[in-house]
Structure 1
Amino acid sequence: MAITIQQIKELRSATAAGMGACKEALTATNGDMAEAVKYLREKGLAVAAKRVDKESKQGIIALAVAPDKKSMALAEVNCETDFVAKTEAFIKFVDEAAQTALAGKDIATTLEDDYKMLLTKTGENVKIRRSERYVLEGTGVLSGYIHMGGKIGVMVELATPCEKCAASPELAEAAHMICLQIAANAPKYINPEDVPQAEIDAELEIKLNALKEQKGKLPPEQALVGIKKGMAAKYCTQICLMKQDYVADGDLTVEKYLAGVSKNLGGAPITVKRFVRMQLGA
């Protein structure tokens, strides 16, 4: 019988085995899920199959950076205990996972044998949770940062039309500071215009319901226009990177900080093109 990608995903979710191993097991057992689990256990993945009921909330996020700094990748691998997360074998595997992601390869497939060995060695339900790879697009700079010993990982890309500026240590430092900002304040978007209107409406509904609960009733509709506008603006300052207070200088926003960097580099515009923030288990 033909094995579907959905069957493979279900078996992988149940056992934490690699995609290739799951396809092999399902093919060998004619798609029988229970027999496929048994097959994987017999092939050396017994630990994962036995411990699928255990939650994997610990682990590490690792960063890999290309020598030319024009590409980088984050990888998160989870385990059950902080003890295992600190072992040499686990740390090595997560580093290899990040390097594999940097090379643009699938972690589960490429490191399948190493993964099996790690399961046997640790005796825990280890999960390759996610990865992200950035390759510099156009003129600019990439920066990455690992916070709290692998609990938080960040990558950011700053863009500028000025090639000289892109190669400057000042822009590299600015990108690093933006990484620190993202790690500390966890923005969801770059600019207010990036926030979906549905998300703003949902937040306003919560705020207005709270206001009604507090006051007993809502202000007149004419007054609500200004109130809603203020609530929306405040919400955006919390979740939008450029509107957040700059962590290294509370008198500035991130937007004003980058404007200052731009001025020091001769006025070439600097924009945050994209960013990603991973938090362990979140």
Structure 2
Amino acid sequence: MAFTAQDVKTLRDRTGLGMMDCKKALEENDGDIEKAGDWLRKKGLAAAAKKADRIAAEGIVEAYIHPGGRVGVLVEVNCETDFVGKTEGFQRLVKEIAMHIAAHDPAPQFVTKEEVTAEFIEKEKEIARAQALATGKPANIVEKIVEGKMASIYKDVCLLEQSFIINPDLTIAQHLSTKTAEIGEKLSIRRFTKYVMGEGLEKKVDDFAAEVAAQTGM
């Protein structure tokens, strides 16, 4: 199947990879954009897997403040060398991740599934189980519902499991794998913090009538 320059551009927009990589993927998959995208993802994941045991101790801490100053994010993303950490492409990637965290509501609580605490998992399972039992479902079905619910929860609370806001076809983990293959170094998100103006504070609600009564002695 023939493909056009627009097909190459579409694949580049979806994957973030170079023109030659996208052209090669379309050639290998008879011009089918969907299959070419899957092919590139597998290639990227394989390349990233080879680098998984490397040490990534360089990188940057990026700050992002959303216009209006009510939401801010600090995120640390690591790479293997100081050289890559100073490149425009790496710094743009970190900025985009910070923007994703700022945009995601509620904010992710963990970077990876492995970081999710046993207490958090058990609490969420109890809630999901109670909700399922309330519908009258049999026990064996309830447990399947609970497991399905947990898969959904991981996407909400784990940064790497979330669909990337800039390219929803990929999760953050897949996007990192793609960039790892493109840059040639292991990339990893170490930690992040999101600040929301006023979060956790109980705002004071003035009772004007009571204040007036107190002042007048009534």
With normalisation by structure 2, the TM-score equals 0.61
Which of 177, 195, 198 pairs up with 1:259?
Answer: 177
Give the Å deviation of 1:164. Answer: 2.4
What is the match of residue 120 of structure 2?
A: 199
The 5-angstrom pairing of residues 161-176 of structure 1 reads 161-176=80-95
The 5-angstrom pairing of residues 1-282 of structure 1 reads 138-185=57-104, 186-213=107-134, 215=135, 217-221=136-140, 223-266=141-184, 268-282=185-199
Q: Deviations over 1:216-262 (max 9, x none)?
A: x23334x4444332222210111110000100111010111111111
Give the Å deviation of 1:193. Answer: 1.2
Tell me, yes or no, if the aligned pair for 2:133 and 2:142 is still in contact at 8 Å.
Answer: no
Give the Å deviation of 1:212. Answer: 2.0
Q: Deviations over 1:17-76 (max 9, x none)?
A: xxxxxxxxxxxxxxxxxxxxxxxxxxxxxxxxxxxxxxxxxxxxxxxxxxxxxxxxxxxx
Structure-1 separation of matches of 2:181 and 2:146: 35
Q: What is the one-letter code of the residue matched to 2:195?
A: M
| Bigger fraction of residues in strand | 1
Q: What is the one-letter code of the residue matched to 1:151?
A: R
Give the Å deviation of 1:264. Answer: 1.3
Tell me, yes or no, if the aligned pair for 1:237 and 1:244 is still in contact at 8 Å.
Answer: yes
- Deviating runs (4+, > 4 A) in structure 1? none
With normalisation by structure 1, the TM-score equals 0.48
Tell me, yes or no, if the aligned pair for 1:170 and 1:261 is still in contact at 8 Å.
Answer: no
Identity percentage of aligned residues: 26
Tell me, yes or no, if the aligned pair for 2:70 and 2:196 is still in contact at 8 Å.
Answer: yes
Structure-1 separation of matches of 2:100 and 2:147: 26
Tell me, yes or no, if the aligned pair for 1:141 and 1:171 is still in contact at 8 Å.
Answer: no
Structure-2 separation of matches of 1:212 and 1:228: 10
Q: What is the one-letter code of the residue matched to 1:197?
A: A
Tell me, yes or no, if the aligned pair for 2:109 and 2:158 is still in contact at 8 Å.
Answer: yes
What value does the CA root-mean-square deviation take over the aligned residues? 1.7
- Name stretches of at least 5 consecutive residues in structure 1 with no aligned partner: 1-136
Tell me, yes or no, if the aligned pair for 1:187 and 1:241 is still in contact at 8 Å.
Answer: yes
Q: What is the one-letter code of the residue matched to 1:169?
A: E
Instruction: Count how many residue pairs are aligned between Structure 1 and Structure 2.
Output: 142
